Amino acid sequence: MKTIMFTGGGSAGHVTVNLALIPRFLEEGWSVQYIGSESGIERQLVATIPEVNYYPISTGKLRRYMDIQNVKDPFKVVKGLFQAYRLIRTNKPNVIFSKGGFVSVPVVIGAWLNKVPLLIHESDLTPGLANRISIPFATGVCTTFPETVQMLKADKSRHVGAVIREEVKQGNADRGRAYCGFTRSKPVILVMGGSLGSRKINQTVRQALTRLAKQFQIVHLCGKKQVDPVITTPGYKQFEYVNEQLPDMLAMADFVVSRAGSNSIFEFLELKKPMLLIPLTKEQSRGDQILNAQSFEKSGYADVLYEENLTADSLIQGVLHVYDNREAFIDRMSRSGDVNALNAVYDWINEIAKK
């Protein structure tokens, strides 16, 4: 029996590609293992697949700003490296697949020390910090955007496109409406601030809620501990985070207001959901979401509202513009082409494992 080990975490975006690939390997009879953090979202998500053996390791966040934790976290990373090295040496996987995030760095280095081939997937247009550290140790790098290949060594990278979870395509709009208590009488906006949420987006949506609710029903994924129990506006439903219900919510949504994380926006593209994207600012990130959003805007799949310009009025204007032009967005998305990235990644993993 061949063994594959996955890693990646810190946010849902660093787990969803793994979740899309894991069922394929299980179906083909592989033993599937996962190295993640002790309490990150990846542990919660992977726990829904009982056939996967999950191994937690110590992790430290890779920060770009001054913080007292920057003094402590290198020791956690070193501990995590020793843990990952021992797990890889003991379990002897044929290949390791990394989706990135700070938890992946010790695993990548542990794979290199154990001479286990490792494939990285980069979702964003430009590689993140964790992947930039990891790429020199990797056998190969899969890219979502074709532009990313130009930034990497030609013999080490392949453009495969976006890996889309099969379950995302299987949503049912009626189930989504029943779960949210919505009707067919008004169009539905799905608001997503990422798995960790966005206080700025949450606050602005709530400031605009009275006016938005006159024309739309709104399902709002707020992020951990960001639900406001005081709000009782009819046609407004809020959740911290959803997993199994997300495909149904996407199926019922007429369009989406979202951050611009690569995994999410490519799922919206696959489902032909018009988008109003509010990317993280450069102060909050390395600017990857801005580049993702600009790429989609240039292709005609989305409008972009920069957070610096985000107010209740600008949000309402942006929502109305996307809704009024939804057919044009859908038409352009329908002509985007269909690339089976999951098969491409699966085949490359098999190719590496055989070597």
As a whole number of angstroms, the distance between CA 214 and CA 210 comes to 7
CA distances 246 to 115, 177, 190, 252, Å, are 39, 12, 10, 10
| Residue, of 168 and 11, whose pLDDT is higher | 168
Which tens digits make up the pLDDT trace of 107-165? 999 999 999 999 999 988 888 888 999 999 999 999 998 889 988 888 899 999 889 88
The sheet that has 157-159: what strands, in order across it?
A: 53-57, 31-37, 3-7, 95-98, 118-122, 140-143, 157-159
Q: What is the mean pLDDT of residues 305-333?
A: 97
Question: What SS3 state is found at 298?
Answer: helix
Instruction: Determine if residue 284 is left, alpha or beta; phi over 0 gives left, psi from -120 to 50 gives alpha, anything else beta.
Output: alpha
Least confident of 17-21, 212-216, 282-286: 282-286
Which tens digits make up the pLDDT trace of 49-68? 999 999 999 987 655 555 55
Which tens digits make up the pLDDT trace of 177-217? 999 999 999 999 999 986 555 889 999 999 999 999 999 99
Amino acid letter, residue 262: S
Domains identified in the chain and CATH numbers: 3-161+339-354 (3.40.50.2000), 167-334 (3.40.50.2000)
- With a CB cutoff of 8 Å and minimum separation 6, the contacts of 81 are 106, 109, 110
Answer yes or no: is pLDDT of 70 > 80. Answer: no
